[in-house]
Amino acid sequence: MLWLLPQNLEVATYQSYPMADIDDHTDDDGNIVMQLSEAKKNRWMKRIQNALFDDYENLEDGSYQGNINDDVVKIIQSNFPLGERMSEEDLVESIGNTVKQVAAYIDEHTNGIHQLFITHFALDFVQQSIQSIFQIEETDAPNDFDPMYG
C-alpha cells in the first residue's frame, strides 16, 4: 500500500527537456519520431505553460517554476486522494487518468500543438508534479484486527 502526503500544491519546479525529436515517422525500433525545430518546441512549450500555470518563470538552468492554475490542481487532486492508502495498481491507474485529463486540458486550452507532443508533455508534467507535490510512502495494508476487542 502507498500513502500520499501533500508537500506543495502551488509552486513546483519543472525540468524542461527537449521533447523527443518529434515528426510523424518511425525509427528502426518502430517508435514514432517527430523532428521539431527549437523555435517550434519553444512556441509549443510557451502555449502549454500559459495554459497550465497562472504564472511561471524560466530559470537559468533551463527549468521553469510557477503556480499551477486551479483547474489543473483540481485534476491532480481528484486523482490522488490525500491521506488515503492506495495500492500500487491504483497509483498506476491514477497516474494514467491524470495524464489523459491533463492532455485533454492542454488540448482544449491551446491550439496548433501536435497531439503526440501534448501527450509526451502531459506524461512528464504529471510525473514531475507527483514528485514535487506528493511524498509517497510505502505502508502496510490496514489491519482491522484489534487485540483489545478479540
Q: Which helix (H) or strand (E) holds 76?
A: helix 70-79
Residue with cell 525509427: 27
CA distance 96 to 94: 5
Give the model confidence (pLDDT) of 64-94 as tens digits: 888 999 999 999 989 987 777 788 888 889 9
Confidence (pTM): 0.73
Q: Return the domain boundaries, the chain.
A: 2-138
- How large is the average pLDDT for residues 124-132? 87
